[in-house]
Amino acid sequence: MKNSYLNIFAFNKKILGKTIKILNKDKVMGLPTETVYGLGGNAYSKKAIKKIFDLKKRPKFNPLIVHYYNLSKAKKDVIINEKFKKLYKRFCPGPITFILNKKDSSKIHALASAKLRTVAVRFPSHKILRSILKKLNYPLAMPSANKSSRISPVNSIDVYEEFKGKIIIIDGGNCKIGIESTVIDLTSSPKILRPGIINKNQIEKILKMKLNRTKLQKKIVSPGMLKKHYSPGIPVKINQKKYDGKSAYIYLGNKFKNKKNFFSLSKSSNLNEAASNLYKTFRIIKKRGYKRIQIQKIPLKRSGIAINDRIKRAST
Ligand code: TXA
Ligand code: MG
């Protein structure tokens, strides 16, 4: 078994050098972030972007997030505004992605942003990724390191299981946040396109304004809003009150402690902790051979909104 994991590397100075060399050759790699693992490559390179789409089997109309070390690097590619500056100051580096207008002089390859005039930019806080981004002369286009429509990986073994020996993976431990970044569109009146750990209330406080309620739009503004997404590969039923006797049952709290088939996302019902355990729990359940998943009602507040968004999609 050990041999098959030889393409997962622990991070050190020597591996940093190797990583830079690999990325400079327009190759793509599995890299850790604080949210989920990503499949990263040079955002200015057609060759790298194509590889990302091919490996993920991602539809070409679904744009990628471009990851930067800091604001001064991002300014070369996108037009920033006052609202962005406020949110950047408060939350970055961290688990939030901004949709901004692309500069005419931007070097981001058109395929990365699916030929849109806008770009999704993010400033991840994971130490390993930051040390890599600091050394590069280009940003990294990086979707979650999973095949299209599946759940995101939250440790290096998860990435290995998605792509086997096809890519080199850098180990950065378990992702602390465990679900994807909040995506907010700042090209017109601010709109949350994908809820995350940084929630609407926190953003409203910083912007000193109310945001519209995040709802599933008909028009695809963010293809991540496609309904079928984040599927663990077995049927998922949400808002379940009664246990059916054979499914894996996901819940909050410790009411069913030590009971077979019951999986708590957080013993203390903490919603951030629950979010961080969601994908991990899906994977454990799948591996144990369960045929279906039932999920108790999760409160629709703070990080519970992001959890409900993901489990709703997992259930369609
Ligand atoms: O936490 C994260 O954001 C992770 C880590 C690896 O950084 N990345 C991630 O990427 O979740 P991905 O590709 O799985 O999701 C990117 C989301 C998609 O829903 C995509 O449609 C949306 O961002 N997006 C990208 N560019 C966009 C744009 N120009 N306008 C609207 N939505 C955009
Ligand atoms: Mg994804």
The model's pTM:
0.95
pLDDT band of 221, cuts 50, 70, 90: low
Mutate to test the pocket of ligand 1, among 180, 182, 227, 278 (most ligand atoms within 8 A of CB): 180
What is residue 198's predicted lDDT score, i.e. its pLDDT?
Answer: 98
Mean pLDDT of 229-249: 95
pLDDT in tens, 14-54: 999 999 999 999 999 999 999 999 999 999 999 999 999 99
Ligand 1 atom nearest 142 alpha carbon: 6
Whether 160 has a pLDDT exceeding 90, the answer reads yes
Q: Which position has the token pair 């017109």?
A: 188
Whether 316 has a pLDDT exceeding 90, the answer reads no
Ligand 1 atom nearest 37 alpha carbon: 6
What is residue 230's predicted lDDT score, i.e. its pLDDT?
Answer: 86
What is residue 2's predicted lDDT score, i.e. its pLDDT?
Answer: 45
Whether 229 has a pLDDT exceeding 90, the answer reads no
Closest ligand to Cα 179: 1
Q: Which position has the token pair 């994807």?
A: 180
Percent of the chain with pLDDT over 90: 91
DSSP conformation letters of 13-43? HHHHHHHHHHHHTT--EEE--SSS-EEEEET
pLDDT band of 220, cuts 50, 70, 90: very low
pLDDT in tens, 95-128: 999 999 999 999 999 999 999 999 999 999 999 9
Pocket of ligand 1 (CB under 6 A): 33, 35-36, 38, 62-65, 97, 99, 113, 116, 118-120, 122, 124, 142-144, 180-181, 183, 193-194, 221-224
What is residue 123's predicted lDDT score, i.e. its pLDDT?
Answer: 98
What is residue 307's predicted lDDT score, i.e. its pLDDT?
Answer: 98
Mutate to test the pocket of ligand 1, among 69, 100, 144, 227 (most ligand atoms within 8 A of CB): 144
Mutate to test the pocket of ligand 1, among 56, 125, 149, 183 (most ligand atoms within 8 A of CB): 183
C-alpha 95/C-alpha 36 separation (Å) is 10
What is residue 79's predicted lDDT score, i.e. its pLDDT?
Answer: 98
What is residue 227's predicted lDDT score, i.e. its pLDDT?
Answer: 61
Q: Give CA separation, 136 vs 29, 44, 89, 124, 284, in Å.
A: 14, 12, 23, 15, 36
C-alpha 245/C-alpha 257 separation (Å) is 16
Mean pLDDT of 267-295: 97
